[in-house]
Amino acid sequence: MRRTPALIVGGGPAGAATAIGFARAGVPHLLLERSRETGDALCGGFLSWRTLETLAGLGIDPDALNPARVTDVRLFAGTRRAEAKLPRPAINVSRHRLDTVLLAEAERLGSAVERGVTVREIDARTVRTADGATMTTDALFLASGKHDIRGLARPEEARGADPTLGLRVHITPSPALARSLAGRIELHLFDRGYAGLALQEDGRANLCLAVHRSRLQEAGTPRQLLDALGRELPALGEWIARIADPVDAIANVPYGWRERHGEAGLFRLGDQAGVIPSLAGEGMGIALASGVAAADAYRRDGPGAAADWQVDFARRIARPIGVAGLVRRVAETAGAAWLLPMVRPSLIRLVAHATRIAPQPAVPDLRL
C-alpha cells in the first residue's frame, strides 16, 4: 500500500490548480489522472473575466489559451433576440487546451503526476484503483468533475425528478462560422433546456446543451433532438445542419447542488463542491477557485482545515449558483420567448456580475 500526505484525484482545472498551489509552496503531493492523454471534456469552454484573473494568479497567460476575446453575449428564444456587452472581455477555449496548459504548468513546477490511473472506490482516506492497488493519504482532494466515484458519490436526490443531461458537439470551422461568432457567445433557450455556442481557439464552434431527460426522450436520440432544435430555433438551425461529429453526452448533472458539510481530510473541489447551471459560464471559474483556495487552506492548516473550508466555500458559491438556478428556471420555460423582448442589456450585465465567483489570491511561491 502506498501513502502520500496529499492526494489529488483528477487532473482537470480544479485538480491542476491545487497541484500548482502545492508545487509553488513545496508541499508534497501526488495527482492521479485517469486519462493517459489529455482529452476534451464535455464543457462549454467559456472563461469569464474573473476566471482569467484566477488563471493569471496561477501563472497562466490567457493568450496561451486563446488570444481572441469575447465581448458580447447574444440570447435567442425562438425568433426573438437580445444582446449585450459583457462586463469585461472573456475567452473561449477547448478543455483539451485548458487542461494541457494547466497540467503542464503543474509539472513544470515539480508536481508529481501519474496518468492512466483510474480511481474506482474511496473508503475514508484510502483509494482503490482499477488495477487493484490501494493508496492512503492524510488529505484527499476530490477533483473528479461531474463523474462520481464509489464511496463519495453525490446524493441521488440532487439530480431531481427530471434529471439534466449534458450534450456536446463540434461544428466544423468555416469563414461564415468565424464571422458569425467573432467576439461573441450565443445562448439559445428552448423548452426544458438551453444551448451555448462559442468559437474555440482551434476554429471549431463548441455547441453545448443542457437538456432535461423528458425532452430528450420525446425526441428519441440525441441526434434527433438536435435535428428538432434545428427546426425550432432558426438562428441555430444553420449550424446544426453542419454537424458531422458524434454527440458526446453525460447524464444526471446535479445543477444547483452544493456540498454544505465538511469533514477533516476531505476537500471536494469543482463540480464535487457545487454545480452551477452551465448557462452562467462560471463552472471553470468555480473549479479553479476551489483548487486555489483548498491548496491555500491545506498549506496553512493541514488536513484538519478541510471541514471548515468546505462550509466556507459552499457559502462563497451560494450566490452565483442561486442566481444561475433562478435564471435557468425562467430560461427553460416555454414562455422565455415572450419574456426576451423585455430583457435589457443592463439586466444581462447584472446577471453576468451576480453569477461570478470572486478569485482567491494566488498561493505565493515559498520555495527558496
Domains of the chain, residue spans: 2-43+90-157+254-329
Alpha-helical regions (H) of 29-125: 49-57, 62-65, 95-108
Q: What is the pLDDT of residue 355?
A: 95
Distance CA 249, CA 150 (A): 21
Average pLDDT per block of 10 residues along the chain, 368 residues long: 95 98 97 93 91 95 96 90 93 96 97 96 94 96 95 90 94 92 95 95 94 96 94 90 87 94 97 95 96 97 97 96 94 80 83 85 43
Write down the H helix ranges in 47-144. 49-57, 62-65, 95-108
Q: Can you tell me the distance from the alpha carbon of 167 to that of 144, in angstroms, rounded to the nearest whole number? A: 19
pLDDT at 43: 87
pTM: 0.94
What superfamily would CATH give domain 2-43+90-157+254-329?
FAD/NAD(P)-binding domain (3.50.50.60)
